[in-house]
Amino acid sequence: MLNIVFVCTGNRCRSPMAEAFVRLSGLQLPVEVSSVGLLDVGRLGPPRELLEVLGSFGVDLASHRARPLAGVDLSGADLVIGFEHAHIAAAVVEGNARHETVFLFKEIVRLLETVDTVESEDPVERARLALKSAAEQRESVGFVGKEDMADPFGGSRRVYTDSATQARDLSRRLLLGLFGRSRPGGPTPSSYPAEQTGLASPQAGRSHSGRKPDR
């Protein structure tokens, strides 16, 4: 299985939303996905506005509870995805993630779409080789700005809808970049089911910060 972990600030909006979309689109793929936040905000769930918006996408995150990065070991993850540079820095420094596995969401999608297609009968091996190529491409190209994904917390319904649409589209492109359009009969990134689907289970949190959570 390919292990993907999303990291945002409070694990209430961006990372659980991306986790949900990847899980939905990767139902037939050998992928495990989870999410954490830099801050410990307790057992808070997603904002009501986000839950309502995600319902229109067929996603039910009502049972999701924030989980902090503290105490989580990311060294074994195949791919760690953040939404701001602070997220990916913390993943390496606090979570022990390997540098070559850590990317911004927009960054990894862009890189996967520019590297040569990797051929392998094993979909997990293909995905790992694609990630290796993406990391090598990043080293050669260097930093590309303006690839953060804004936090929708506290915004209007339109802001939440735009954020969810972006997360959905990036999730589809991510899985296509990792697994490709599989040979006939094999797994391939799927469309989302029309019915509402529950995706997250309650997770316990531990308090370690007094900083104001911005999700």
- What is the pLDDT confidence band of residue 119, given thresholds at 50, 70 and 90? confident
How is residue 209 written in tokens? 């910060």
Calculated CA dihedral for residues 167, 173, 178, 183, nearest 10 degrees: 130
From residue 168, give the alpha-carbon distance in Å to each of 23, 59, 70, 92, 210: 11, 11, 27, 26, 32
Say yes or no to pLDDT of 151 above 80: yes
Whole-number average pLDDT of the chain: 88
Evaluate if residue 43 carries a pLDDT over 50. yes
32-51 mean pLDDT: 98
Q: Which of 187, 95, 173, 86 is nearest to 134 (CA)?
A: 173
More confident residue, 103 or 146: 103
pLDDT for res 126: 96
Determine how β-strand 102-104 pairs with β-strand 31-37: unpaired
Asked if 173 and 109 count as a contact pair (C-beta separation under 8 A), the reply is: yes
Helix (H, G, I), strand (E, B) or coil at 14: helix
Q: How many whole angstroms separate alpha carbon 10 and alpha carbon 40?
A: 7
| Domains in the chain, CATH or no CATH each | 2-182 (3.40.50.2300)
CA dist., res. 133 & res. 114, Å (int) = 10
Angle at 47 between CA 44 and CA 27, to 5 degrees: 85
Tokens of 196: 């509402």
- Give residue-wise pLDDT tens across range 180-198: 965 444 555 765 443 333 3
Predicted confidence (pLDDT) per residue in 122-140, tens digit:
999 999 999 999 999 999 8
73-99 pLDDT tens trace: 999 999 999 999 999 999 999 999 999
